[in-house]
């Protein structure tokens, strides 16, 4: 190896090492190796804040209660249709089940404002004024815990899907959540059902436009072997509100 080639090789090695070091520093490196970053510290996107649903799609089915038997758009099977046609809000009220349309798969497509915050370093919390519901989105834990009782919001496992961040580039990503252990509820206020075997998968993406507007897009799938023939796949969008004054908690209502 002549002198010039040796210098070149040395420079290449230096550049690579320097690059790695800078990347490490940008990711909070340079400190002694410790426990892995908490989900909160590792978050590639910021979901926190108050988000308002923009009801620009399916207005007649999301903003107001449609008539009984209106199951348009939803891939129900015959059993699902029969349950929907038997919808009786008075019966739900008498059973104390006026929140059946406020379970996670129905809640997210409702006319909601939601506040997302960190409950702790590994759990996101989603609160809605519509129905005054709280969803907890804990990141996967290796610890085996007994399944809690079924609930409107079910049991959720969350994980970050992280892209970029290598070689000094910006980190991006999204949140994926899978919710099970749901109490049977409604996909739509007029009694379109999902069963306790439903699995609700969501991908949460945040986008900031050049004018500063921030949108949250929730791409989601409801799979239900009892009442659906096919996965029910939709995307729902929300806009971040800097003015939080329109937060207006209201209890569940089986009719309106």
Partner 1 sequence: MNAKLLRTYVLLGVTLFTSGSAFAQVELSGSYSIRMYEDYIERGPGSFLGDYTGMPLSDEGRAKALLYMSNLPSTIERQCLAQSPWVGQYRPLALRIWSEVDDGRVIAWVLAGDYLRDTIRIWMDGRPHPSPNAWHPPSGFSTGHWEGDTLVVRTTHVKTAWIRRGVGIPGSDRSEFSVLITRHENLLTITTIQEDPIYLTEPHVVSRVWEFDPNGSQGGNNRSTCNVGNELPTLEDTGKVPHYLPGQNPEEDYMVRNYNVPKEAALGNAYTLYPEYRKTLRGRYTPPTSCDRYCCGWIERQGLPGAAPGLTCNDGNLPRALRDALTNQK
DSSP secondary structure code for residue 36 in this structure: P
Binding mask 93-132 for partner 1 (x = CB under 8 A): ------------------xxx---------------xx--
State how far the Cα of 222 lies from the Cα of 188, in Å rounded to an integer. 13
Q: Is 207 in the site for partner 1 (CB under 8 A)?
A: yes
- The least distance separating partner 1 from the CB of residue 38, rounded to whole angstroms, comes to 21
Q: Which stretch binds partner 1 (CB under 8 A): 96-104, 115-123, 131-139, 210-218?
A: 210-218
Stretch that binds partner 1, among 91-99, 131-139, 149-157, 242-250 (CB under 8 A): 242-250
**Rounded distance between C-alpha atoms, residue 213 and residue 218, angstroms:** 16
Q: Rule CB under 8 A: say whether 221 interacts with partner 1.
A: yes
- Using CB under 8 A as the binding rule, whether residue 4 contacts partner 1 is answered as yes
Q: By CB under 8 A, what part of segment 133-152 binds partner 1?
A: none
Residue 74 contacts partner 1 per CB under 8 A: yes
CB of 96 to partner 1, least distance (A): 22
What tokens were used for 137? 């989105």
Distance CA 40, CA 207 (A): 19
Instruction: Determine which residue in the list 81, 98, 155, 180 makes contact with partner 1, applying CB under 8 A.
Output: 81
Residue 190 CB, nearest distance to partner 1 (Å)? 7
145 to 184, contacts with partner 1 by CB under 8 A? 161, 163-170, 172-174, 176
Residues 14-73 interacting with partner 1 (rule: CB under 8 A): 15-16, 19, 22-23, 44, 52-60, 63-73
Query: Which one, 88 or 213, has the nearer CB to partner 1?
Result: 213
Q: Is 236 in the site for partner 1 (CB under 8 A)?
A: yes
Residues 85, 88, 120, 121: which binds partner 1 (CB under 8 A)? 85
């Amino acid at each position: 190896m002549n002198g010039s080639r040796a210098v070149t090789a040395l420079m290449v090695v230096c550049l690579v090492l320097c690059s790695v070091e800078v990347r490490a520093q940008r990711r909070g490196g340079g400190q002694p190796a410790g426990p892995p970053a908490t989900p909160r510290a590792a978050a590639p996107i910021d979901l926190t804040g108050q988000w308002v649903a923009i009801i620009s799609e399916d207005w007649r089915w999301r903003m107001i209660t449609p008539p009984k038997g209106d199951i348009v758009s939803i891939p129900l099977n015959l059993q699902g249709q029969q349950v929907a046609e038997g919808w009786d809000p008075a019966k739900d009220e008498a059973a104390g089940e006026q929140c059946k349309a406020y379970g996670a798969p129905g809640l997210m497509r409702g006319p909601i404002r939601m506040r997302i915050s960190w409950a702790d370093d590994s759990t996101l919390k989603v609160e809605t004024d519509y129905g005054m519901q709280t969803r907890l989105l804990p990141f996967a834990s290796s610890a085996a815990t007994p399944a809690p009782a079924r609930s409107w919001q079910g049991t959720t496992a969350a994980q970050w899907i992280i892209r970029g961040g290598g070689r000094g580039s910006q980190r991006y990503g999204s949140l994926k959540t899978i919710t099970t252990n749901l109490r049977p509820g409604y996909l739509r206020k007029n009694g379109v059902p999902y069963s306790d075997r439903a699995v609700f998968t969501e991908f949460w993406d945040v986008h900031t436009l050049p004018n500063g507007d921030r949108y949250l897009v929730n791409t989601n799938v409801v799979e239900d072997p009892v009442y659906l023939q096919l996965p029910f796949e939709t995307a729902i969008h929300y806009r971040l509100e800097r003015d939080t004054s329109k937060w207006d908690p209201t209890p569940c209502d089986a009719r309106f």
